[in-house]
Amino acid sequence: MSGMLQRPARSALTSLGTVLGVGTFVAILGLTSTASSQIDEHFNALTATEISVQDLAHESNPFVDLGFPSDAESRAERLNGVRHAGVYWPVDLGAETQVRSSPVRGGTAGGRVQVTAASSGVLAAAGPTLAEGTAFNEWHDRTRQHVAVVGAGIASQLGITTLETHPALFIGDKAFTVVGILDAVERRPELLLSVIVPRSTAQEVWGPPKANASMLISTGLGAAPQVATQLATALDPAHADYFKVVSPPDPKALRGEVGGDLDQLFLLLAAICLFIGTVGIANTTLVAVLERTGEIGLRRALGARGRHITSQFLAESGTLGALGGLVGTSLGTVTVVLVALAKEWTPVLSPTVVITAPLIGLAAGLLAGLYPAWRASRIQPVEALRR
């Protein structure tokens, strides 16, 4: 204690390396666990409630253009657990057809903008946030209305800034009234880059798709796996092979993969920080040995053996490492709690990490003091007193 308190500033700076290393170690592992729990919740809320279906009818039978029946949405929604369902596909307009905000060629042009045919269930399943207006509904589907919903970026490109003037856009020579502007979607972000028109209207104007038709389905939590097994048969009992159902991944396995990758990455970063702290302790302890050569020589002249000198310096470095580990653990824990409160998360920190971290600080201090202690024990009394 006398050796450590003789120069308190140096001792504090020596233990600072362990404080930073252990604190970073605890904070990183705690924040990783906390973030993993939030990732799991996010996947449960979105990915685990989404099913997509690809239409393979044209590949199985070249005489069939579209495998989805006209009432595909109602067939899917009759399954228990399905909330919204809709069929969509990219419309093939040809090389010459463009999207404009005016029938006159000199008007504001959107150029080669993607047009997507979609039933109203697609917009409902996508979880849209509308900047203005509304999404088209089942009535628009049923009556084949010439309406459109566009993303905010496409609306700006077409020069549409408000819906108060009831703007229209022209796809080739066909006019469509813009009824809604999308600001964001929870699913299928590519919809923000499209002009979305009702499926029935697209089939009437441009005909059925030759390929790339899909279905988007949103379900309640826990219902997706069961719905996925029933969906193809519900759509067409006679030709269930026309459809490829993509069910959501297992959230537990997905969380395990993401959490494992995060743990490995951040554990490596924490180990690097701890290594830097250990090197700092070793360097400072070695300087202390060189400065206290006279003290070491005096002790050796009074009868102290090499093991006594080694024990003294190991005790000092170990104590500083343990104190740094305790302080670092406290700071790391406080950091995890503060970040979780700021983000409105639930802090997750393993008790094993909190218990082990101070011991890691002690081990780092002992490891850092090995060489300086051995160096001190090798100093001969006569040479030390001569200095």
Tell me, letter by letter, the H, E, C secondary structure of 139-162: HHHHHCCCEEEEEHHHHHHCCCCC
Q: Is 125 in the same domain as 220?
A: yes
Q: Tell me: do 300 and 186 sit in the same domain.
A: no
State mean pLDDT over 138-159. 91
| Domain termination residue (choose one: 216, 238, 260) | 238
Q: Encoding tokens for residue 144?
A: 């084949």
How many structural domains are present in the chain? 2
Residue 191 in contact with residue 185, Cβ under 8 Å? yes
Pair 281, 353 in one domain: yes
Contacts 24+ apart (CB under 8 A), 300-306: 300/379, 300/380, 300/381, 300/384, 301/381, 301/385, 306/377, 306/378
DSSP 355-387: HHHHHHHHHHHHHHHHHHHHHHHT--HHHHHH-
Hey, what amino acid is at 227?
A: V
Q: Are residues 14 and 112 in the same domain?
A: no
Q: Tell me the pLDDT tens digit for each residue of 281-294.
A: 777 767 767 677 77
Residue 244 belongs to some domain of the structure: no
Mean pLDDT of the chain: 81
* Domain contains 58: no
pLDDT tier at 309, thresholds 50, 70, 90: confident
pLDDT of residue 106: 47
Tell me what pLDDT residue 5 has. 72
Q: Are 196 and 126 in contact (CB under 8 A)?
A: no
Average pLDDT, stretch 209-214? 82
What DSSP line would sit under 51-116, residue for residue?
EEEEE-HHHH-TT-S--S-TTHHHHHHTSTTEEEEEEEEE----SS--EESSSSTTS-EEES-EEE
- Which long-range contacts (C-beta less than 8 Å, at least 24 apart) are formed by 340-348? 340/34, 345/34, 345/35, 345/37, 345/38, 346/34, 346/37, 347/30, 347/34, 348/30, 348/33, 348/34, 348/36, 348/37
Most confident of 25-29, 136-140, 346-350: 136-140
Residue length of the chain: 387
Which whole number is the average pLDDT over 342-365? 83
CB 298 within 8 A of CB 382: no
Residue 48 lies in a domain: no
pLDDT tens figures, 160-190: 888 888 888 888 888 999 999 999 998 888 8
Choice between 299 and 133, residue whose per-residue pLDDT is larger? 133
217 plus 304 within the same structural domain: no
Which amino acid, 322? Answer: A
- Do β-strands 82-90 and 114-118 pair in parallel, antiparallel, or remain unpaired? antiparallel
The arithmetic mean of pLDDT across residues 101-116, rounded, is 64
User: Does the pLDDT value for residue 225 go beyond 90?
Assistant: no
Q: Are both 310 and 192 inside the same structural domain?
A: no
Q: Which amino acid is at 234?
A: A
Contact of 182 with 130, CB cutoff 8 Å:
yes
Number of helices and strands in the chain (H, E): 14, 12
- Domain edge (last residue) among 238, 269, 297: 238
- Per-residue pLDDT of 31-74, as tens digits, reads 777 776 665 555 556 667 888 999 888 787 777 778 888 889 99
* Model pLDDT, residue 164: 87
Q: What is the pLDDT of residue 110?
A: 52
With bands split at pLDDT 50, 70 and 90, how would you rate the model's confidence at 306?
confident
Q: Is residue 211 part of a domain?
A: yes
Which of these, 205, 190, 228, 379, lies nearest to 292 by C-alpha position? 379
Is 362 found in the same domain as 267? yes
**Residue 140 maps to a domain:** yes
Q: Are residues 312 and 343 in the same domain?
A: yes
Q: How confident is the model at residue 195 (pLDDT cuts 50, 70, 90)?
A: very high
Residue 307 sits in which domain range?
2-43+252-386
End-to-end CA distance of the chain: 25
